[in-house]
């Protein structure tokens, strides 16, 4: 079972709330502690699955092509297998039997979960009968939200995501060409005004009922990038629990309006600069992986292809044992991880000349469990952390194609990785071959496998302390 702790997926520490049980009321911690999107810590250990039961949508976003899934909570350019609520319930049981990390069932399209509300709620109703301990989560554009808040509360859906890209309809008109509301179609500024009012009303109604609301915003350079500071303040005022700023992913081959007109997405450093600017506002989520509407597994991994309809047994019953054992194991591991992180923070307070020490960006390769436990050649993404005398903070992930598939590397992929690591000074990994090590070092990066299988935060802390040196009885020792 221990192996499950490090199987697949991302891990990091800063999406969702990076706070722990001591930083919030017990009832809130209870709601987020096993939710991989709402708790940065939980995403090391717990998995979500989405079921694609809601295909229709009531608005048009300029970053969406209807052929594909809802790009509000999903990477554009991928299509999910549509399911009926009955098929979805069967799939949830199959996944729960095989993936002990599973803690959350989300409905994130492939259209809007609340425009197709009958299918969404029917799915939750069916799943509830078999897995009473799974958490429910939905993602919506918010237009139909105010009409369904009571039903959301009735189904114990504690987590709702609303995609809010603007609070100014003039900016909205550059993102949404039309909406369909109350039996008619609206365009331009009027469409965005209605959408904005419904989003704010829905947000207020949810928070008034104690439902945790995460806001997703798609960062679109030149359109809403600066405006997202205002969005952050407005949603914070209305009680949003988290704000997740996601980069626009835009390419002509996706066939979206933005893709076709050449609207670009932000670079990783532009995204980081905006997130840094938002510090002090609504809590930021930085570990979003822009999942598919049929994603299965830890964030950053996608096991959806193991559970396609043709692979699901007709008759299936739920066996809770594996998930129960896994949870017990995670409790112990989490406590250990927290202790190691606290010790690392304490040690960092003694680094030399903290005021002069510039924060370093360190990338790690991990399969989950909060440890540096992945071979460089197998990494599909890097977790990036910032470290200085005040501590180690997760700041995001950088996607990179597998450098090494089948035991050999490809140089052009290595170039992609080096470009993706813009701003990063050090890579900590479980193992790396001589050839990629030399290439990274030639590009100015420091590489180390000295912390293999150790916790991420304590390794980064130890690396930083060793690099910068500590102040010991008035003397600096490095």
Where along the sequence are the contacts to ligand SF4 (CB under 6 A)? 57, 59-61, 64, 70-72, 109, 111-112, 141
Residue 361 in contact with ligand CLF, rule: CB under 6 A: no
Quote the distance between the C-alpha of residue 472 and its chain's center. 40
Considering beta carbons, is residue 235 or 357 the nearer one to ligand CLF?
235
Question: Of 25-33, 193-201, 284-292, 325-333, which part binds ligand CLF (CB under 6 A)?
Answer: 284-292
Residue 299 in contact with ligand CLF, rule: CB under 6 A: yes
State the nearest-atom distance from the C-beta of 371 to ligand SF4, in Å.
Answer: 35
Q: How would DSSP label each residue in 341-363?
A: HHHHHHHHTTBS-TTTPPPEEEE
Binding at 381: pick from ligand SF4, ligand CLF, none (beta carbon under 5-8 Å per type) = none
Residue 139 in contact with ligand CLF, rule: CB under 6 A: yes
Q: Which among 460, 451, 467, 449 is positioned nearest to 361, based on CA atoms?
A: 460
Q: Which among 468, 461, 266, 267 is positioned nearest to 364, based on CA atoms?
A: 461
Q: Which residues lie below 8 Å from residue 376, measured CB to CB, with a gap of 6+?
A: 365, 403, 404, 427, 429, 430, 431, 432, 433, 436
State the nearest-atom distance from the C-beta of 274 to ligand SF4, in Å.
Answer: 21
The H or E element spanning position 47 is strand 47-50
> What does the alpha-carbon distance between residue 423 and residue 360 come to, in Å, rounded to a whole number?
9
Binding at 72: pick from ligand SF4, ligand CLF, none (beta carbon under 5-8 Å per type) = ligand SF4
- Which one among 6, 101, 103, 244 touches ligand CLF, defined by CB under 6 A? 244
Considering beta carbons, is residue 179 or 384 the nearer one to ligand SF4?
179
State phi, psi for 271 to the nearest 5 degrees: -65, -45
Indicate the pairing of strand 178-181 with strand 184-187: antiparallel
Residue 290 in contact with ligand CLF, rule: CB under 6 A: yes
Q: Binding string, 39-68, against ligand CLF, x = CB under 6 A?
A: ---------x-x------------------
State the nearest-atom distance from the C-beta of 159 to ligand CLF, in Å.
Answer: 6
Q: Quick one: 329 exposed, middle or buried, by C-beta within 10 A (0-12, 13-18, 19+)?
A: middle
- Which one among 70, 89, 104, 384 touches ligand CLF, defined by CB under 6 A? 104
Residue nearest to ligand CLF as judged by C-beta position = 106
Considering beta carbons, is residue 18 or 459 the nearer one to ligand CLF?
18
Residue 149 in contact with ligand CLF, rule: CB under 6 A: no
Considering beta carbons, is residue 106 or 142 the nearer one to ligand CLF?
106
State phi, psi for 224 to the nearest 5 degrees: -130, 10
Binding at 48: pick from ligand CLF, ligand SF4, none (beta carbon under 5-8 Å per type) = ligand CLF
Sign, CA torsion 14/340/42/464: positive
* Under 8 Å between Cβ of 29 and 21: yes
Which stretches of the chain bind ligand CLF, using CB under 6 A?
37, 48, 50, 73, 104, 106, 108, 137, 139, 159, 161, 214, 244, 288-291, 299
């Amino acid at each position: 079972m221990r192996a499950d702790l490090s199987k697949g997926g991302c891990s990091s520490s800063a999406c969702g709330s990076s706070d722990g049980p001591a930083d919030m009321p017990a009832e809130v911690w209870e709601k987020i502690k096993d939710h991989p999107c709402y708790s940065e810590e939980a995403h090391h250990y717990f998995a979500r699955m989405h079921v694609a039961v809601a295909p229709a949508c009531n608005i048009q976003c300029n970053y969406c092509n209807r052929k594909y899934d809802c790009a509000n909570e999903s990477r554009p350019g991928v299509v999910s297998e549509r399911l009926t609520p009955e098929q979805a319930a069967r799939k949830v049981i199959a996944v729960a039997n095989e993936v002990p990390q599973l803690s959350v069932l989300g409905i994130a399209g492939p259209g809007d979960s609340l425009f197709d509300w009958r299918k969404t709620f029917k799915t939750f109703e069916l799943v509830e009968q078999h897995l009473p301990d799974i958490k429910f989560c939905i993602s919506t554009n918010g237009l139909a939200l105010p009409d369904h808040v009571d039903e959301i509360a009735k189904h114990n859906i504690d987590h709702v995501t609303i995609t809010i890209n603007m609070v100014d309809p003039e900016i909205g008109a550059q993102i949404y060409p039309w909406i369909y509301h109350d039996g008619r179609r609206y365009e331009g500024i009027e469409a965005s005004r209605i959408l904005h009012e419904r989003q704010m009303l829905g947000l207020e109604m949810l928070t008034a009922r104690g439902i945790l609301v995460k806001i997703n915003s798609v960062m679109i350079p030149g359109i809403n990038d600066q405006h997202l500071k205002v969005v952050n303040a407005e949603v914070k005022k209305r009680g949003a629990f988290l704000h997740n700023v996601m980069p626009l992913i835009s390419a002509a081959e996706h066939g979206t309006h933005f893709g076709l007109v050449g609207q670009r997405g932000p670079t990783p450093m532009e995204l980081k600069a905006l997130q840094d600017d938002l510090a002090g506002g609504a809590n930021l989520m930085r570990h979003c992986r822009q999942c598919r509407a049929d994603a299965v597994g830890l964030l950053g991994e996608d096991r959806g292809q193991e559970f396609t309809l043709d692979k699901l047994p007709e008759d299936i019953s739920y066996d809770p044992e594996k998930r129960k054992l896994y949870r017990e194991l995670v409790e112990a591991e989490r406590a250990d991880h927290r202790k190691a992180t606290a010790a690392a923070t304490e040690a960092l307070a003694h680094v030399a000349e903290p005021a002069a020490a510039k924060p370093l960006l360190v990338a790690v390769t991990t399969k989950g469990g909060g440890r540096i436990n992945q071979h460089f050649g197998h990494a599909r993404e890097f977790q990036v952390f910032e470290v200085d005398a005040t501590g180690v903070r997760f700041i995001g992930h950088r996607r990179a194609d597998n450098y090494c598939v089948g035991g050999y590397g490809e140089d052009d992929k290595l170039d992609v990785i080096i470009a993706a690591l813009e701003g990063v000074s050090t890579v900590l990994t479980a193992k790396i071959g001589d050839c990629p090590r030399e290439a990274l070092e030639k590009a100015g990066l420091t590489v180390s496998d000295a912390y293999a299988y150790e916790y991420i935060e304590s390794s980064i802390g130890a690396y930083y302390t060793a690099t910068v040196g500590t102040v010991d009885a008035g003397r600096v020792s490095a």
